Amino acid sequence: GREVLHTQPVLGTTTVACMIGAGLLFPAGSAEWMMEGPRSLGFLIAADNALVWLHLMYLGFFASGVAFLFWYQGVRALGAPRASVFINLVPVFAMLISIFMGKWPAPYQWSGAAVVLFGVYITSRSGQSKAAS
């Protein structure tokens, strides 16, 4: 795992990871199709609006593909152990984005964000002190 990012390009690694993920999801999607039939994809069939399909393509390419590309670049730069700490910031950023979209977070969400930020801070500090010794 770790050696791959040092020897292979990030874009290639991201592409392979997304293809493996899609391949692993295919059996579950097929099973749902066999159990539910066309009904399971009703929201897609009903989505004759081109804007809906454009949104789905955006989510697939940008929200997944580009995010993975940046993630693997970060793993390559920081190393897997240090980079893995920052995955915990995803819900914090989602909460901050929700503020810009007009939804104010509940008190328990602020508390959760504080716990996450404190955890990232503690983990980052402990990593620095180990590197210094």
pLDDT in tens, 53-100: 788 788 887 878 788 888 888 888 888 788 888 888 889 999 999 999
* pTM higher than the cut 0.75: no
Domain match, 66 and 110 both: no
- Rounded to 10 degrees, the C-alpha dihedral 93/64/5/1 comes to 90
User: What CA–CA distance (Å, rounded) separates 99 from 112?
Assistant: 15
Domain match, 27 and 52 both: yes
Domain match, 8 and 69 both: yes
Overall domain count for the chain: 2
Domain match, 24 and 47 both: yes
Residue-number span of the structural domain to which 46 is assigned: 1-78
Domain match, 90 and 52 both: no
